[in-house]
Structure 1
Amino acid sequence: MAFEPEAAERDEWSYAPAAGVGPLRFGMTVDEVVEAAEALGRTKVSECARDHAIFSPTRKVEVHRRGVAPSLPAVTAYVSQVAGLFCVAVDAVHGPQVAYDGLPLVGRDMSELESDAVAYAEARDVYFRYTPEGYVGPDDSGVVMRGQPVGQVLRSRPLFMVTRDGAHTEWDSMPSEEYRVNGRPAA
């Protein structure tokens, strides 16, 4: 059974590889991201730690849903000074629903998502892939599946990405804030 907290109140966003997710388009400036995110809720902009000198300064735009008690951001967008918007992380509990060719990706029990991804790939004669942490998702370089603890269950928290600042892969481009092991920040 799919996990759908507050399903009646959650928006449904579409994903277009290399283009964007929902109203957010890769390459947008911070101001454009803030303006596009207004439909979902209030925003907070902050600087990201500069852990890798090869990347230009990056800002984080956290989008909190209106009418929801203080909580994690529904969406976190990462905007590079050089590349513009390059990563959109969707929260497993408060984020909008996003599907990949009909396969729901947000807020899923990770083991259910794995079963559904395997069945999806077999039915369509396509591939799926595992992350280094063991999370399964579509075989699309623009989608990186992450785990987010929700109670006693690990839920899916996808990142929708393009590479930034001369990086070769989305793994190289991933914001340091998004490095997690089983949904918890890396030590």
Structure 2
Amino acid sequence: MAFKTAGAERDEWSYSPTVGVGPLRFGMTVDEVVEAAEILGRTRVSECARDHAIFSPTSKVEVHRRGMAPSPPAVTAYVSQVLGLFCIAADAVHGPQVAYDGVPLVGRDLSELESDVVAYAEARDVQFRYTPEGYAGPDDPGVVIRGQRVGQVLRSRPLFMVTRDGANTEWDSMPSEECRVDGQSVA
């Protein structure tokens, strides 16, 4: 199934808390991620900088859409040597659309996403949460909404994750490559 946004067509992937996103399952090895990602396109594997000695070495698998001109990865998967796949980031422009109980999370104007998340929470009498940067998202420890600069605006770049080895929370688990302020990398 495909989701259209701004004239482009993108795949729709499902999210299952603590299980995975689309064809990617938490705990997969690098080779398993590369094999599963073949449905989207070509992959590039590299090692992440080891910023914190508490974490085991981590690989980054960048998945680029098949048939597109060179562009940022549609999906970036982070794989720990100890835990396996623990974080999946969907690019705001090229990534697959992933919804949380019917609320699309990828590539959204952050104020529109906030309105939808608040309406969702009010309609179902559930909570939602804000990131330290002020981005609204579902009250699910496995979903962290980040901002990604697209032209002059910030769009949503969700991270889907489980707590990695040596970490206490998803915030502790976040790969340094995904730590951004106002859409700009601080790593």
Q: How does 1:95-174 map to 2 (within 5 A)?
A: 95-174=95-174
Residue 11 of structure 2: aligned partner: 11
User: 1: distance between equivalents of 2:7 and 2:74?
Assistant: 12
Asked if 1:65 corresponds to 2:65, the answer is: yes
Q: Taking structure 1 as reference, are residues 21 and 94 closer, same or farther at Cα in structure 2, changes over 3 Å only? A: same
Question: Which runs of 5 or more structure 2 residues have no equivalent in the other structure?
Answer: none
Residue 78 of structure 2: aligned partner: 78
Q: Which amino acid aligns with 1:41?
A: G
Cα deviation per residue 1:153-186 (whole Å; 9 max; x = unaligned)? 1100000000011311000000000000011011
Question: Which runs of 5 or more structure 1 residues have no equivalent in the other structure?
Answer: none
Number of residue pairs the alignment of both structures matches:
184
User: 1: distance between equivalents of 2:62 and 2:85?
Assistant: 13
For residue 89 of structure 2, give the secondary structure of its aligned residue in structure 1: strand
Question: Displacement of 1:7 after TM fit?
Answer: 3.8
Q: Which amino acid aligns with 1:60?
A: K
Question: Displacement of 1:5 after TM fit?
Answer: 3.2
Cα deviation per residue 1:135-168 (whole Å; 9 max; x = unaligned)? 1100000000000011111100000000011311
Cα deviation per residue 1:87-109 (whole Å; 9 max; x = unaligned)? 00000000000000000000000
Which has a greater percent of strand?
2
User: 1: distance between equivalents of 2:183 and 2:145?
Assistant: 11
Residue 182 of structure 1: aligned partner: 182
Question: Displacement of 1:6 after TM fit?
Answer: 4.3
Regions of 4+ moved over 6 Å: none
Q: What do you get for the CA RMSD once the two structures are aligned?
A: 1.0
Residue 46 of structure 2: aligned partner: 46
Q: Taking structure 1 as reference, are residues 160 and 186 closer, same or farther at Cα in structure 2, changes over 3 Å only? A: same
For residue 5 of structure 2, give the secondary structure of its aligned residue in structure 1: coil
For residue 86 of structure 2, give the secondary structure of its aligned residue in structure 1: strand
Percent identity of the aligned residues? 84
Residue 20 of structure 1: aligned partner: 20
Question: Displacement of 1:51 after TM fit?
Answer: 0.1
